[in-house]
Structure formats: structure tokens, C-alpha cells
């Protein structure tokens, strides 16, 4: 049996997505879940785009 590590970002500061996600990716997060509970409907696309830019720059 294998498991995936998918930390939740409910307490993350999504105004700084790269800074918040890098520390959970470094130890081996397999994926980062984003959903309505994490972001809220209107902010989801903007936060995901900001996260993609931050990770691409890393």
C-alpha cells in the first residue's frame, strides 16, 4: 500500500503563496489541495495563478 502526502493549506497566508507552499513541498508533498474551503470561490483562480508563478520562479 502506498500513500500520498497532501498537506492542507487552511491556515496558509495565500497572499504569499510561494512562501507558504515551498516549506511543504521541500520535505516531499506529493500534491497541494486547493478547494473552496481553502480559498473561497472568487479567489481560487487568482491564488492558483500566483502559486504557479511563485513555483515557476523558484
Q: Is the pTM of this model over 0.85?
A: no
Distance CA 2, CA 54 (A): 29
pLDDT band at 53 (very low <50, low <70, confident <90, very high): confident
pLDDT band at 27 (very low <50, low <70, confident <90, very high): confident
Number of alpha carbons in the 13 Å side-chain half-sphere of residue 2: 2
Distance CA 51, CA 54 (A): 5
Q: 14-49 burial by CB neighbour count: b if 16+ within 10 A, else e?
A: beebbebbeebbeeebeebebeeebbeeeeeeebee
Amino acid at each position: 500500500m502506498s500513500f500520498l502526502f497532501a498537506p492542507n493549506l487552511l491556515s496558509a497566508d495565500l497572499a504569499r503563496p510561494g512562501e507558504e507552499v515551498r516549506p511543504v513541498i521541500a520535505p516531499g508533498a506529493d500534491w497541494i489541495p486547493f478547494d473552496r474551503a481553502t480559498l473561497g470561490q472568487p479567489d481560487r483562480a487568482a491564488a492558483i495563478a500566483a502559486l504557479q508563478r511563485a513555483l515557476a520562479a523558484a
